[in-house]
């Protein structure tokens, strides 16, 4: 978003108002900065720019919605092709490590969910992929001394008359009440209000997903070997390069 704000001033100086408003809208929606309301916010900003320049506001009718969404797809594809021609990304894919690992992003299971799906649909997809224990989850904490970590979430933590912290540890408290892992908590996690940790290992010592970290110099070869083994066993996977 910071880059877009900087670009905004340049676009205002060098572009026709209608073209500038359209390009700003395309870039804003491509960033998709919020968990919900990106389309409505983007169209409000689009109309604000048009009206500031003396043009009437526009209304994307339901019948034109597919054509409207197709414009975003075309914009994204044109950007990718341009970057390939400029040598900014490999011609065969968007990232070199994806070529080496032989990753087909189209095969990642999304159940038809995309950027334009409702928040509820996205949350359900998240819960379907990252399926752990539902009776408990962890919340990230940060102490005054700079330490940080994850601890189980309790609904009555620090509640007067119930919680006896710090005299009694949560693990030893008879009044502790674990908070359930549900759609509401996932929404808070995805919106950045909370940082949630999932307990992937179930009570029967099985799990629905694994998160595997590869590092050091051999990370790419190790990830490739792991991927090949997973594919041979018919297990779906997604590979992501961390920060």
pLDDT of residue 102: 52
> What is the domain count for the chain?
2
Residue 49: inside a domain: yes
pLDDT of residue 227: 84
Q: Which of 175, 198, 221 is the last residue of a domain?
A: 198
Maximum distance among all Cα pairs of the chain, rounded to whole angstroms: 67
Least Cα distance to 199 among 153, 237, 143, 241 occurs for 153
Q: For the chain, report the end-to-end CA distance as a whole number of angstroms.
A: 18
Residue recorded with tokens 């601890």? 151
Least Cα distance to 75 among 17, 31, 106 occurs for 31
Residue recorded with tokens 């990642």? 108
- CATH number, position 39: 1.10.3290.10
pLDDT of residue 87: 63
Residue 238: inside a domain: no
Pairing assessment for the beta strands 138-142 and 196-197 based on DSSP bridges: antiparallel
Per-residue pLDDT of the chain (243 residues; tens, 9 = 90+): 878 888 888 888 889 999 999 999 988 988 888 877 888 899 999 999 999 999 999 988 877 878 888 888 888 778 777 766 666 555 554 444 455 445 454 445 566 777 777 888 888 888 888 889 999 999 988 877 778 888 888 887 777 777 777 777 777 777 778 889 999 999 988 888 889 999 999 999 999 888 888 888 888 888 888 888 888 888 888 777 765
Q: How far apart are CA 164 and CA 159, in angstroms?
A: 8
Determine contact, residues 129/109, Cβ cutoff 8 Å. Answer: yes
What domain range includes position 145? 119-124+133-198
Pairing assessment for the beta strands 196-197 and 148-152 based on DSSP bridges: unpaired
Residue 222: inside a domain: no
Q: Is 75 annotated as a binding residue?
A: no
Q: Is 234 annotated as a binding residue?
A: no
pLDDT of residue 94: 46
Partners of 9 in the beta sheet?
none
Residue 219: inside a domain: no
Determine contact, residues 38/32, Cβ cutoff 8 Å. Answer: yes
pLDDT of residue 51: 95
Q: Prior bond to 166 cis, omega within 30?
A: yes
Q: Is 37 annotated as a binding residue?
A: yes
Partners of 140 in the beta sheet?
150
pLDDT of residue 52: 93
9 and 76 together in one domain? yes
Residue 8: inside a domain: yes
Q: Is 41 annotated as a binding residue?
A: yes
Residue 11: inside a domain: yes
74 and 145 together in one domain? no
25 is a catalytic site residue: no
The 8-class DSSP code of residue 209 comes to -
Q: Is 40 annotated as a binding residue?
A: yes
73 and 147 together in one domain? no
Residue 207: inside a domain: no
Alpha helices in the chain (DSSP H): 2-14, 17-31, 38-52, 65-85, 96-101, 119-129, 183-190, 219-232
Give me the catalytic one of 16, 25, 32, 189: 32
């Amino acid at each position: 978003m910071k880059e877009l704000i900087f670009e905004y001033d340049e676009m205002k100086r060098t572009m026709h108002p209608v073209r500038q408003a359209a390009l700003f809208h395309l870039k804003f929606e491509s960033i998709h900065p919020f968990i919900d309301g990106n389309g409505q916010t983007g169209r409000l900003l689009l109309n604000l720019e048009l009206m500031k320049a003396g043009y009437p506001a526009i209304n994307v009718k339901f019948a034109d919605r597919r054509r409207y969404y197709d414009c975003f797809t075309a914009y994204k594809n044109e950007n990718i092709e341009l970057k390939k021609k400029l040598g900014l990304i490999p011609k065969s894919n968007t990232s070199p490590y994806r070529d080496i690992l032989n990753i087909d992003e189209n095969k990642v299971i999304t159940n038809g969910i995309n950027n334009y799906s409702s928040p509820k649909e996205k949350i359900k997809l998240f819960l379907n992929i990252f399926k752990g224990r539902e009776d408990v989850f962890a919340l990230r904490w940060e102490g005054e001394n700079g330490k940080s970590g994850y601890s189980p979430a309790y609904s009555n933590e620090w509640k007067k008359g119930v919680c006896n912290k710090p005299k009694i540890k949560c693990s030893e408290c008879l009044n502790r009440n674990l908070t359930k892992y549900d759609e509401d908590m996932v929404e808070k996690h995805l919106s950045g209000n909370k940082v949630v940790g999932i307990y992937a290992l179930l009570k029967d010592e099985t799990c629905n997903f694994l998160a595997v970290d590869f590092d050091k110099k051999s990370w790419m070869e190790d990830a490739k070997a792991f991927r090949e083994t997973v594919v041979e066993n018919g297990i779906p996977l997604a590979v992501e390069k961390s920060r």
